[in-house]
Amino acid sequence: MKFAAAFISLCCVGQCSAQSLNPNGAYPKFGVGPTGITATIEKGLKVTVAAVQLSEPAGQTDLKPGDVLLSVNGQSLSENDPRVTLGTAIGVVEAGDGLLTFQVQRGSDERNVTLRLPVVGAYSASWPENCKKSNAIVEQTVRYAVKAQQPDGSYQFGAGRPVRDDVRGCLTSLFLLSVGDDELIPYVRRHVRPLAERAETRRNAGGHVNWQLGYQGILLSEYYLRTGDAEVLPGLQELCNWCVDNQAAGGWSHGAPVGPGYVQSGLMNHAGLPVMITLIIAQECGIKVDTAAYARAIRLIYRMAGHGCVAYGDHRSELWWSNTNGRNAMTACGFSLLDHIPCFREASEHLATLVTDSYYQPEFGHTGGGFNVIWRGMASMHVPEHRRANVQRQNQELAWYYDLCRQPGGGFSMPATPPNNPRYTGLEWATGAIGLTYAAPRRGLRITGAPRTKFSRQAPPPDFDWGTPEDRTFLSTADAEGFRESESPKEIYHLLLKTRKSEATLQFCATHLRHYSPLVRTWAARLLGERNRPEALAILANAAMDKDPRVRRAAFDGVSGYDNWR
C-alpha cells in the first residue's frame, strides 16, 4: 500500500495532465470510475458522495450520500484536481490488490472505508495498443453496448432517452464496427439499414442537420466498406446530395441556410469537418459527389494544415490554443483517407502529432471538450512512426481520465468540462466515443487506419491548386535543423505563452523557432517581438534569412504581431 500511495503521488504531481477546477465553485456530478460512486466537488474542492450503486463495489461498503471523501489511499483529495487523484488511484489498485481506502467525513466523524475493485492489471507502455487491460475494457464495453441496443437500432443508456441517428448513436455503432468482430455486424446493420432508408427521403436529420449528416455519412460508409451491403447506398447517395446542397463558401454551418454573420462566412467547422470526411469516404463507396463542392471543401481545410490549428470558421489557422476541440483530430482522420496522395498523408500526420502534443489540455473546448475526447484517440493512429513516443506520452498522461470515465458493468461516462460545463456528459456521449479510443489500434475503420477493402473504389483526387512546393515543408513532423528538445510540450506552452513567460530566455525562444509545431514557432517569435530588445530583434532578423521556410515565416509572425482571428 505504501508503494501504491507513493506512485499515486508521483503521477498526480509530476506526470498527469488536467485542466483547472475552480476551488471556489462547484463541479457537477461525475462517476468515479468503476467504483459505483457518483460524486460532486463542492466549494473548497470537497469531493462529496451524491449516490452509491448498491450492486457495485461501493454498494458493499458503508458509504452514503453526503459523505465527504477526504483522501484515497493516503492521498489528499482537497488539492489540485481531485479527479486526477481518483482516476490515478483506480489504475494503481487495479494493477495491485484492488483495494481503495477512502478517508470519509460524515458530519463530525471521520472513518476509513475500503472497497475492492477487480484486479485487471496495468496498462501496457503502448496502451491501448498491445494491452490486455485495454482489450478487456473493449470486450466489456461491447457487451454493454449490445445489451443497450433496442429493437429499432437505438441505444438505451441508463435512464436517459434512447439515442440512434444523432452523433451519440452513430459513435456507438462506429465503436461496434471498429472492434473488428463480424459477430457484431448484425447489431450495426439493425441501426444503419433503417437510417439509410430514412436518408433516401431526407427524414434522417432535423434541426442542426449538418451535425447529424456528417456522422451518419461516416457510419454508413464504414459499414458499406466493411460489408458490401449495397442496400445502404441509395440513402448514402441522397445524404451526400443533401450535404452538397447545404454547403456555403466551401464549408458548413450548424444547419442550412448558413447565417453569414456567424463567425466568418457563417461557417462552423466542428459541424463541417465530419461532412467533409463523409464526402471523401463516400466516394470510396462509389457514391457520386459534385466535384466542385468536393474541391471547395478540401481546399478550405487543407490551406490551414501546417500553419496552426484548424480554425473555427473561415479564417486563419488558430494559434493561441494547443488544441481546437477535435478539429485537428477530425482533419487528421479525414485526410488519412487520401493517404495515397503525399500532401494529404503529410497533413494527416502533422495534425495528428499536434493533437498528441496537446495532452495537457485534454478537455479544452468552446462549449465543452467533448469532441476533443471523441476524436483524440482515433487521430493518434495517424501519428508517424518517428513520433510514436508522443502518443505513448499522451496516453500515460491521460490514463487517469479514461479510468475515471469507465463505469461499473461497462460503458463510459464523460465528466463535465472544467470548470463546470456538463454539455457532453453521460453514458450516451462517452460509451461509443471512448470505446473508439480503446478499439482504435485494431484498425477496424478506415478513419482509424484500416486498409482499403475489396469494396473500395479509387476516388478521383480533389481538383484544386494551393500554395508552392515549399508549402509542403510546413506539413513536416520533423523539427528544423539544429533543434534540440529539452522541455515537454506542457512546459513549452507555459514558458512561451502562459504562466512562465518571464522565465523563457532569448536562447530558449530562438531554439523554439525551429520546432516542428507552427504553434510553438509562433509563440516563440511573438515573445521575442514582445521583448522588443536589440538582442531579441536580432534573433528574428537572422531567422528571417533561414533556409527553412517555417523559421522564416515565424520570424515575420513575430515582427508583424500575427494573430489568427484578425
466 within domain boundaries: no
pLDDT for the residue numbered 18: 65
* Extended beta strands in 276-392, E state: none
Helix 534-543 with 549-560: angle, nearest 10 deg: 140
390 within domain boundaries: yes
Residues 146 and 111 in one domain: no
Spatial separation of the C-alpha atoms in residues 179 and 422, rounded to whole Å: 29
Which residue matches cell numbers 463495489?
Answer: 57
Residues 267 and 323 in one domain: yes
Domain CATH number, residue 170: 1.50.10.10
Q: What is the 3-state secondary structure (H, E, C) of 436-484?
A: HHHHHHHCCCHHHCCCCCCCCCCCCCCCCCCCCHHHHHHHCCCCCCCCC
Which residue matches cell numbers 488511484?
Answer: 89
196 within domain boundaries: yes
pLDDT for the residue numbered 456: 98
For the chain, the farthest-separated pair of C-alpha atoms sits apart, in whole angstroms, at 72
Residues 271 and 178 in one domain: yes
40 within domain boundaries: yes
Residues 85 and 193 in one domain: no
Show the domain range for 99.
2-116
Residues 148 and 77 in one domain: no
49 within domain boundaries: yes
CA 21 to chain centre: 20
The structural domain count of the chain equals 3
325 within domain boundaries: yes
Residues 493 and 445 in one domain: no
Domain CATH number, residue 101: 2.30.42.10
pLDDT for the residue numbered 455: 98
CA-closest candidate to residue 399, choices 68, 36, 121: 121
Residue-by-residue pLDDT tens, the chain, 566 positions: 333 343 334 344 344 666 678 889 999 999 999 999 999 999 999 999 999 999 999 999 999 999 999 999 999 999 889 999 999 999 999 999 999 999 999 999 999 999 999 999 999 999 999 999 999 999 999 999 999 999 999 999 988 899 999 999 999 999 999 999 999 999 999 999 999 999 999 999 988 899 999 999 999 999 999 999 999 999 999 999 999 999 999 999 998 888 877 877 889 999 999 999 999 999 999 999 999 999 999 999 999 999 999 999 998 899 877 778 899 999 999 999 999 999 999 999 999 999 999 999 999 887 788 999 999 999 999 999 999 999 999 999 999 999 999 999 899 999 999 989 999 999 999 999 999 999 999 999 999 999 999 999 988 889 888 888 889 999 999 999 999 888 999 999 999 998 899 999 999 999 999 999 999 999 999 999 999 899 999 999 999 999 999 999 999 999 998 776 65
pLDDT for the residue numbered 13: 39
